Structure 1
Amino acid sequence: MLIASYNPAGMGDVLVVLTAPAAEHTFEQKENVVRIADEQNMTLGFNFLHASTMLDLPETAGQVFLTSDDVAKLNAVLVEAGFEAELVADETPKFVVGYVEKAEPHPDSDHLQITTTVVDNDERVQIVSGSPNMRQGIKVVVAKVGAMMPSGLIIWPGALRGVASNGMITSGRELRLPNAPQVPGALILPDDFAEVGTPFDVSSAEAQALFQ
């Protein structure tokens, strides 16, 4: 898993790269690289200082989608600083059109539902959803594990009330789509919007027009 973000106004010229969920951690700096590791010395991520000298980065804050070439450059920086080249590129789409194949009540909640949701490559994932309009047989937008929401929230594997949940079925509000209702509820896509597994681009004309 590889999630990168850049916020020059808030953090300066630092590229933050995460490879695992946050935990109790330690820091080790060598040259322009800070390695973040847990108590078992497993790498949680890296901070690359003076990052604009390493990669061509955007001026606006937000997620940075690293290409294989970008990752190769960062691995070269790691080796030069004395760390291992352990970053692995991940260019798979993290927001996709999904299909809720099954939705069942959570055994320990009166509002959560456990869904079996089809995503890309006909993969089925279990996602726990609290959306009041959740039901089987609908097309939705799925933020897969490894996605970063517009708010900065990162989707990691987790559990809700003791039930595993691997991803998030999103609302238009959470995706910050224009004119989306500012109330809880999954974004239900038209049946003819796109095939299941199609990457969902928030900035596309089709997505921007959903609430027009």
Structure 2
Amino acid sequence: MDWSAWHGGYDDPGSWQARRLRAVQERLREVLDGAPPGGVRVVSLCAGDGRDLLGVLAGHSRRGDVRARLVELDARNAGAARRRAVETGLGAQVEVVTGDAALPVHYAGMVPADVVLVCGVFGNITDADVERTVRACRALCRTGGTVIWTRHREVPDLVPRIGGWFAEAGFEQLWLSAPGVGYGVGVHRFTGAPDELRPEQRMFDFVGYPALRPDLWPEG
């Protein structure tokens, strides 16, 4: 799978990718709008070219308060995120790490964070790894912090179970996209005490949607 070329779908404003991106960005703006005064730490797993965060932060009134770390394995996407950060004047406060987002060591020093973005992850890993990653968010998110996540809604729809796993892990649901919009976006606030970050414990294996759903992607 060419994950750099995959981002071309965002160029069509009517695509599910573009519509999902707008939903994620709207929720992120709301979270930043409601953040208390002071610094805001953000981490993004499998960040792609960074548009989830950078598309919001560039024009937001709280941009000066945000420090972020984006972790992305694809070197082309990571390079595009760095360029985007520099072009929007955010290069000094947005760090892009080219590395495996499943490894907690990449978030050391930035977590527990105020905002955790898990977008484009849950549709590319096994159900067991989705549950494990939800639990891992307890170490990534501070008390009162927010996780914004995405997942496709193909049958069998895992979104309701993901919501249940977040509830079991000590998160309360703030927002969930409607079932019929063609994508799933959820927003959950952490109400518990953060777990200790365990750098050696892998959160998930990124399998990829084509391999997980060959019935829907036969050429994969």
TM-score of the two chains, using structure 2 as the length reference? 0.30
TM-score of the two chains, using structure 1 as the length reference? 0.30
Higher relative contact order (CA 8 A, sep 6+): 2
Structure (1 or 2) with the greater strand fraction: 1
Larger Rg: 1
Structure (1 or 2) with the greater helix fraction: 2
